[in-house]
Every structure is written in structure tokens, then in C-alpha cells.
Chain A
Amino acid sequence: MTMLTNFDASTIQYISILGSIIFIVLMILLIRNRKIKEEFSILWLFFGIVFFVLSVWRGSLEVIARILGIAYAPAAIFLILIIAIISILIHLSVIISKITDQNKILIQEVGLLKMEFDILKGNCKISDPENFKAD
């Protein structure tokens, strides 16, 4: 019985504060150990701080909910969470696209260089050396 009554409204607040702190510390450790580059961690850190602020200042959620016209204030937390996740995923898609493009260029250049190297070494029988004449 005492266990149950101990779970009042502030318990979740402590958990949230602790969770946010652990999250932010984890991100900083990952950056420190060079597991994540700074530029890719900015969004994560930003939302970590947002959730820390929300858990310390509980009234803020009510304020946001009222401004946005959300009847049930805790639902606002899901909205913010979803925005956070979607923006990070879009950011990752942009990065992947850029890396794919760079990767393609590298593969093309490696292929072309290997061919020129082979021909210059004389490993290739092709009889048209016009492209590889010394300037």
C-alpha cells in the first residue's frame, strides 16, 4: 500500500529529469569518445535540452498545450517527441544521400585510376595509347 501511495505526480517528474540528464550526458560522452561527430549530434542535444526544460518546468507543458489548443496537456509531449524524431530522421536521410553521392564519385574515380595505372604499368594489351601519351 505504501508503495502505491508513494507514486504521486512528482515521481514521473524525477524520472524525466533523470532521463533527460542521462540522455544529455550520454550524447556528450559519445561526442567526447568520437563516436558521433559534433555536427550530427546537434539535433540530439537540442532535443535533449528541450526535454530537460520540460521536465524541470512542468507548467511549460500546460502553456504549450494551451497555445496549441491541445485539450489533454500530456499529449503535447508526444507531439514534441514526434517532431524531434522526424526531424532527426530527415536529417539522417539528407546525410545518407550526400554520402551515397560521394561514394559513387569515389568508386568511379577509383575505377578510372586503376585502369590508367594498369595501362601505364603496361599490363594492358590495348594498342591505342593515344590517351596516355606523355604531354
Chain B
Amino acid sequence: MVKPRRILAIVPSYNEEKSIAHVIGSIKNSDPSIDILVVNDGSTDNTGSVAKSTGEAFIVNLPCNIGIGGAVQAGFKYAGRNGYDVAFQFDGDGQHLASEIKALLEPILKNDADVTIGSRFRAKTAGFQSTLLRRGGIKIFEILNSLLIKQKITDNTSGFRAYRREAIHFLADHYPSDYPEPEAVLLLGRNGFRLKEVSVCMQQRKEGKSSITGMKSGYYMIKVLLAVLVSALRTRIG
């Protein structure tokens, strides 16, 4: 008999005490065999204790806030060291839908891809499509990354992603910090991992607020564009 593959959900969360229990519950409901790792990125509210009280997730309480990149990377380290075959990122703010997990994991489990990215734009889905300005920014990443890795990725900022073992080990050492998503696409593409987009629906966050607003959006674009362009200058890692 083939040993069932072990799957880990990495749930980065920062001040998500209102949505975290629901997020954990919805993942467990969709597939009880999935292990959940909540990475509490130095929250100042009760995210850690609320998550712990569900009794259904491992909780990593980072002693300080290091940003989403570092938090997710802590998840990759855990997944890599504990022999998980598949890991996927599922945000703690309720934006990602547990009903889409199956679709996200399918190409990975069939060995059609090393990394899958849940995209809001591949097919026009009914759910959350973000604001016009943000979609413009996302379009720039699409064009840039398409040029650099010669593959069209429509939703470079999506954090709803799944990874095979090799990609987990790679990212445990090389995941970008700060605003990691578009840069990670480039990094993975250039290092020979097979990327595949899966059309998914997303939801507008229920509680809390986006970490990228106002002035930060400008900084975000500049930082990420710089990171993407500079990593295009780097030779392959590993």
C-alpha cells in the first residue's frame, strides 16, 4: 500500500485572533488528515492562545514580528525537518477558502507541478478581485515575471500556494523576507521548479486590515520591483 502523503498547512498570522479559529476549523473540515501549523508572527493580541485553544494545530509563537516572509519560512523549516511531502500556505485572515485547497493540491499530488499558485485572475472568479490600483500593480509583476521566467503567472501576489518536498527544502533556506510572493515566483522559476497556476476564488478579509495601505503600497511596489530585478541578475542558487 502506498503510504498516504503527509500534508502541512502553514498559516502565517499576525493579530488575527478573530479569524484564526475559524481558519483552523475550516481547514480541518475540508480534510482532517492535514496537519496545521500556525505561525504566530509576534502578534500583540491573543492569536497564539486562541489558536492553541482549538487543540487542532501546532503553534509556533515567534518572539518578535519578522514579517510574512520570515513567518512562512519558519513553516517551511518545520515542514522540511519533519518530513512533510506537501506544504501549502493558507493565510490566517480568512482570505483563502478551504474549499479551494483540494484544487490547489491536485497538481502537486499528481506530480504535475512542484509549486502551485492559487490565482484570482486566471479565470474570472466570482470572489474578491482586489482594487483597480492593486490589479495594475499585479499586472506589472505578471509582465515582468513572464519576461524573466518565460511563463505567464497571473497572480504573483497570491499567498495561496502549495509546494512539493524539494521546493519546501529549497525555500526553507532561500525564502525572501518582507514582501516575498512575487520574488519567490521568480526564484522558483529560475531554479527549475515547475510552477502551475490554479484558478481559485478568494474572499475579502473578514477582520483586521491589509498590511499594505497608502504610502506602503508605493514602497511595496518599489521594494518588490527592485528585488525582482536584482534577483534576475543573480546566478541560480543551489
* Contact size range, A: 10 to 19
Whether the pair A104, B177 counts as a contact (CB closer than 8 A) is yes
A108→B52 CA distance, assembly (Å): 18
CB-defined contacts of A125 to chain B, threshold 8 Å: 52, 55
CB-defined contacts of B78 to chain A, threshold 8 Å: 112
The answer, among A111, A115, A119, A126, for a CB contact under 8 Å with B56, is A126
Whether the pair A111, B39 counts as a contact (CB closer than 8 A) is yes
Whether the pair B63, A111 counts as a contact (CB closer than 8 A) is yes
The answer, among A103, A107, A128, for a CB contact under 8 Å with B35, is A128
Is A26 on the interface with B (CB-CB < 8 A)? no
Is B58 on the interface with A (CB-CB < 8 A)? yes
Is B74 on the interface with A (CB-CB < 8 A)? yes
Pick 17 A–B contacts, CB within 8 A, sort by A. Answer: A104-B70, A104-B73, A107-B62, A107-B63, A108-B70, A108-B74, A111-B74, A112-B78, A114-B60, A114-B61, A114-B63, A115-B58, A115-B59, A124-B52, A124-B59, A126-B55, A131-B82
Output the nearest chain A residue to B37 by Cβ-Cβ distance: A115
Q: Mark A93-122, 1 if CB is under 8 A from B, else 0.
A: 000000001011001101110110001000
A114→B62 CA distance, assembly (Å): 9
Is A5 on the interface with B (CB-CB < 8 A)? no
Decide yes or no: A112 and B77 within 8 Å by CB, A107-B70, A125-B55 being known contacts: yes
Output the nearest chain A residue to B60 by Cβ-Cβ distance: A111
- B90-132 residues with Cβ-Cβ distance < 8 A to A are none
Output the nearest chain B residue to A101 by Cβ-Cβ distance: B177
Residues of chain A touching chain B, judged by Cβ–Cβ distance below 8 Å, are 101, 103-104, 107-108, 110-112, 114-115, 119, 124-128, 131
Residue of A101, A110, A111, A131 with most partner-chain B CB within 10 A: A111
Decide yes or no: A115 and B60 within 8 Å by CB, A104-B70, A104-B177, A127-B55 being known contacts: yes
CB-defined contacts of B73 to chain A, threshold 8 Å: 104, 108
A120→B58 CA distance, assembly (Å): 12
Is B201 on the interface with A (CB-CB < 8 A)? no
Decide yes or no: A111 and B62 within 8 Å by CB, A104-B177, A127-B55 being known contacts: yes
Extra contacts, 13 of them, besides A114-B60, A115-B61, A126-B56 (Cβ < 8 A), are A104-B177, A107-B63, A108-B73, A111-B61, A111-B74, A112-B74, A112-B78, A114-B63, A115-B59, A119-B58, A124-B52, A126-B55, A126-B58
